[in-house]
Amino acid sequence: MFFGWKVTIFCSLLLCDVARTSTGTNRQLSGSVIKPGFPISVKTNDPGVRKAARFGVYRYNNSSNDIFLFKESHINKATLQVVKGLKYRLDVDIRRTVCSKRMHPDLDRCDFQRNETLRKTFRCYFEVLLMPWLQRIQVPVSLCS
């Protein structure tokens, strides 16, 4: 039972599948029980999903030979799985920005490339593992094409 309590905490922190009724109270959606090891779909605009996507982009930028930084332009699909942490699986479109790697700017301040010849877009699959109690983030899978 103790483990189930931990999952409830994870779920409530992530706002997993909770809907607001017309009376303003929260209710659990049918079939939305999160089970350890079982991936669930997560909204692509969820703050946790967006943060995980950014970590995937950082990993891509650190491993690419491109002189420009890329950033996420659209998150197509996201799932979350409770394993030894929180594992996000993401399908993300990333685009080249006008910021060079040398400048190391904040990606939020980088606009997407406007120059037609320099525009580039990739579709990426990222797996991001968050273990906040250890202050550890890993991106074991980063595939872009």
Residue 3's pLDDT band (boundaries 50, 70, 90)?
very low
Spatial distance between the Cα atoms of 83 and 123, rounded to a whole number of angstroms:
26
pLDDT at 22 over 80: no
Query: Tell me, what's the pLDDT at 115?
Result: 95
| Contact yes or no for 50/73 (Cβ under 8 A) | no
Q: What is the pLDDT of residues 23-71, one digit of tens each?
A: 444 334 445 556 778 999 999 999 999 999 999 999 999 999 999 999 9
Give me 145's structure tokens.
């094409």
C-beta contacts of 103-110 below 8 A and 24+ residues apart: 105/69, 107/54, 107/57, 107/69, 107/71, 110/69, 110/71
Question: Token pair 């909204």 is at which residue?
Answer: 43
Q: What is the pLDDT of residues 56-112, one digit of tens each?
A: 999 999 999 999 999 999 999 999 999 999 999 999 999 999 999 998 778 999 999
